[in-house]
Amino acid sequence: MNNYFSIQDIDCLNEWIKDAIKVKNEPLAYKTLGEDKTIGLLFFNPSLRTRLSTQKAALNLGMNVMVMSFTDQGWSLEYGDGIVMDQGNSEHIKEAAQVVSQYCDVLAIRAFAKLENREDDYSEKVLKSFIKYASVPVVNMESATNHPLQALTDAITITEYQKTDKPKVVLSWAPHPKALPQAVANSFVEMMQRMDADFVITHPKGYELASQITKEVPIDYNQENALKDADFVYVKNWSSYEKYGEILHEDSEWKITGEKMSITNDAKFMHCLPVRRNVVVDDIVIDSPNSIVIEQANNRTYAAQLVLKKILEKV
């Protein structure tokens, strides 16, 4: 594997999940694989889990780690071809990507959707430009439309907790005061289509994700109906795809409550974090024994470690 850009880069999902669980059971088994190799983690947006879990994963493999925030430290980058750079951007991606490739053996990049222009975000300009101009493998730490490290984590976590061969998994939209990207939901939907799951999406009308991603997945606009008999409830807010980047209405009745969880089949509660308590989910749910968000976040390390291991085995 050269790059980990989306979950399409996972060739055999079942093998990957098994391998990630092996890595989790023995995280230092490959502690010299990355010796004398350096990973550069480049952030265009904030992070807690992705930054620290990817760093931990790299350290477990013996790699050196360099971290840089482009929000306040890097030059602002230009991506256009043939642009006269007499405006705000100071450095072109062509030089930036080639230069950092000389310092690093692997690059990992976080660059969220700006939610201003759908075509621009869905072109994945930042990640695809790094992949085009870098001479080393690139890992997606959440791009405009994808969060494949999170989705691999989610698949590992569901596998660890599932009690039946084909669990019912519900992705429920929940309210949020800020407009958020669709990346986590997109990758989770794509992942559930690859897993053996009875998968349903529930959200208010107007929050349909891109049809090229949801394909034939059933959408139920009645949240309580969707939650019936669920084994896993995965909760996430996203802004509208159709009215791109907009919050359509408040919809506080879509918050996940203890009452709603009681409709489920004693479901596990999942969220990628960070989460706004008592806006997205009530304390009583996230603090309950059925909440697996902390273990889910723990698995971020082993998803990242498996991806880096596969890349290191090729470089």
Binding site for ligand CP (CB under 6 A): 47-50, 142, 150, 272-274
Owner of token pair 């997109």? 186
CB of 47 to ligand CP, least distance (A): 3
CA distances from 226 to 59, 169, 190 (A): 41, 10, 19
Q: Tell which residue, 82, 70, 12, 23, has the closest CA to residue 45.
A: 70
Question: Is residue 102 a contact partner of residue 87, using CB atoms and an 8 Å limit?
Answer: no
CB of 41 to ligand CP, least distance (A): 11
* Helices and strands (DSSP H and E) totals, the chain: 12, 11
Helix (H) or strand (E) segment spanning residue 172:
strand 168-173
CB of 94 to ligand CP, least distance (A): 28
Q: Please give the residue whose beta carbon sits closest to ligand CP in the complex.
A: 50
CB of 192 to ligand CP, least distance (A): 17
Strands laid side by side in the 138-140 sheet: 64-69, 38-43, 106-110, 138-140
Which two tokens mark 27?
A: 């995280």
Report the sign of the C-alpha dihedral through residues 192, 300, 266, 277, in that order.
Answer: negative
Neighbours of 220 (CB within 10 A): 16
CB of 231 to ligand CP, least distance (A): 22
- Smaller CB separation from ligand CP, 101 or 233: 233
CB of 247 to ligand CP, least distance (A): 19
DSSP structure class, residue 290: T
- Smaller CB separation from ligand CP, 52 or 219: 52
- Smaller CB separation from ligand CP, 78 or 183: 183
Indicate the burial class of 114 (C-beta count within 10 angstroms; 0-12, 13-18, 19 or more).
middle
CB of 270 to ligand CP, least distance (A): 11
- Smaller CB separation from ligand CP, 142 or 190: 142
- Smaller CB separation from ligand CP, 101 or 182: 182
- Smaller CB separation from ligand CP, 49 or 268: 49
- Smaller CB separation from ligand CP, 213 or 275: 275
